[in-house]
């Protein structure tokens, strides 16, 4: 069985790796090809080009790279048609992945296609589901309320759970060891700074987050700031943070898990990282902004009063968020200080985070395995002989 996967950013890489592991558990004969990052590479994928080339978001951010991205779309579609896989699985990053699916299917109409991560049509641009339907057969949804939107557009869809619910969490001992290793006192307030996994995000949000945390440090003696970063923006993050008064500690790889467990509060870019924080029970403040033109356009099409997944899944507004023009050091620092000082604000978020994890499937079968079963069912393939639901 041959599977071609296309992921374009860190969160998609994690989803792809878990799906690959699930498929291998169900089908010993599976072989992989496509584009992915370090986690998918660790599962055996040889990425056709660096995934980081695709980590671009926002209209004005894409324009300078448009010709290069268009060439990569054509190259990837050519590879799909030449390989003739049993299924093409595009993972998030719809601007790239769905164009690949459309180009490949135009030349090979029998191509079976699956898209992992339903588009947020409940939030903005509801027409996206209808535009997907001609090129996508089946959708794997991360949120429990998404399948009806996809099915109404003509695709099949399964809620497969969110992988954040099964990510191993660091122990209290590992958190204490992290603090000790970095010279952070056991009782020192520790704030995580998470300015994003894309270069554009880090360039826009990093300076604002840094200025906000410098303001917090003036009001909170002994404040420690940790920036967990990822491959692709690590050098940018280190250069950006070098001038901060808070002198942040920057970590990568395995230390990221311990940093989340050791933290008291987080200041984070909007995105799936809010669920990582919720899984660890870390109260958070969310900030985000786009290029002014992208911001202008989005203001007119967004359909919800919140973009934070914890707020949406828990049906609360417990997590404060500062978007667009209000994503500035003053408001951000004030919200962080409130979480550090106000037990009631922390308690409200803790309840919302626990409810979010329950609704996303914590305690159930691993989402990667559920997603693999869903893929095999959608393309009419069976698992290994004798395979059981406990595989």
Tens of pLDDT, residue by residue over 283-332, are 999 999 876 655 554 555 455 578 899 998 999 999 999 998 899 999 99
Listed in order, the ranges of the chain carrying CATH 3.40.50.2000 are 2-162+363-378, 172-359
Instruction: Tell me: pLDDT of 149 over 50.
Output: yes
Instruction: Tell me: pLDDT of 333 over 70.
Output: yes
Q: Give me the mean pLDDT over the 193-213 stretch.
A: 94
Task: Give the residue among 193, 164, 219 at the shortest CA–CA distance from 341.
Answer: 219
Strand partners, 140: 116, 158
Question: SS3 of 284, please?
Answer: strand
Name the residue with tokens 């050791």.
Answer: 262
189 or 145, which is more confident: 189
Task: Give the residue among 318, 315, 314 at the shortest CA–CA distance from 356.
Answer: 314
CA distance 274 to 281: 10
Q: Give me the mean pLDDT over the 206-220 stretch.
A: 97
The per-residue pLDDT for 390 is 37
Per-residue pLDDT band at 388 (split at 50, 70, 90): very low
Q: Which of 56-70, 102-116, 282-296, 374-388 has the lowest mean pLDDT?
A: 56-70
Q: Which helix (H) or strand (E) holds 113?
A: strand 113-116
The per-residue pLDDT for 60 is 43
Cα 367 to chain centroid distance, Å, stands at: 15
Strand partners, 139: 115, 157
Contact indicator for 249, 223 with CB cutoff of 8 Å: no
CA distance 154 to 287: 35
CA distance 42 to 238: 25
State the fold for domain 2-162+363-378. Rossmann fold (3.40.50)
What pTM value is reported for the model? Answer: 0.74
Per-residue pLDDT band at 76 (split at 50, 70, 90): very high
CATH class of segment(s) 172-359 = alpha beta
The per-residue pLDDT for 80 is 98
The per-residue pLDDT for 372 is 97
Task: Give the residue among 194, 282, 273 at the shortest CA–CA distance from 241.
Answer: 194
Q: Give me the mean pLDDT over the 152-165 stretch.
A: 93
Per-residue pLDDT band at 119 (split at 50, 70, 90): confident
């Amino acid at each position: 069985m041959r599977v071609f996967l296309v992921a374009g950013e860190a969160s998609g890489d994690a989803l792809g790796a878990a799906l690959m592991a699930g498929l291998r558990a169900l089908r010993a004969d599976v072989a992989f090809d496509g584009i992915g990052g370090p986690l998918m590479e660790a599962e055996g994928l040889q990425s056709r080009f660096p995934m980081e080339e695709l980590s671009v978001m926002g209209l004005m951010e894409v324009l300078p790279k448009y010709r290069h991205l268009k060439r990569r779309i054509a190259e990837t579609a050519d590879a799909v048609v030449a390989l003739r896989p049993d299924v093409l699985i595009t993972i998030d990053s719809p601007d790239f992945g769905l164009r690949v699916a459309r180009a490949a299917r135009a030349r090979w109409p029998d191509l079976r296609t699956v898209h992992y991560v339903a588009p947020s049509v409940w939030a903005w641009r509801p027409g996206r589901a209808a535009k997907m339907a001609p090129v996508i057969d089946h959708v794997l949804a991360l949120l429990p309320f998404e399948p009806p939107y996809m099915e109404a557009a003509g695709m099949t869809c399964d809620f497969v759970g969110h992988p954040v619910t099964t990510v191993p969490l660091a122990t209290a001992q590992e958190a204490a060891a992290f603090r000790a290793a970095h010279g952070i006192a056991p009782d020192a307030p520790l704030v995580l700074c998470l300015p994003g996994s894309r270069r554009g995000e880090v360039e826009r949000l990093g300076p604002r987050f840094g200025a906000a945390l410098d303001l917090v440090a003036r009001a909170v003696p002994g404040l420690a700031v940790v920036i967990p970063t990822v491959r692709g923006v690590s050098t940018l993050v280190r250069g950006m943070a070098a001038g901060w008064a808070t002198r942040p500690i920057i970590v990568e790889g395995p230390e990221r898990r311990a940093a989340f467990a050791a933290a008291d509060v987080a200041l984070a870019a909007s995105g799936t990282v809010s669920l990582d924080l919720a899984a660890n029970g870390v109260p958070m403040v969310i900030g985000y902004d786009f290029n002014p033109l992208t911001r202008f356009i989005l203001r007119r099409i967004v359909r919800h009063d919140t973009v934070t997944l914890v707020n949406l899944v828990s049906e609360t507004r417990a997590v404060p968020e500062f978007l667009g023009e209000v994503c500035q050091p003053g408001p951000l620092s004030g919200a962080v200080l409130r979480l550090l000082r106000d037990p009631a604000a922390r308690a409200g978020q803790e309840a919302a985070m626990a409810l979010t994890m329950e609704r996303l499937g914590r305690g159930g079968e691993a989402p990667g395995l559920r997603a693999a079963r869903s893929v095999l069912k959608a393309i009419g393939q069976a698992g290994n002989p004798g395979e059981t639901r406990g595989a």
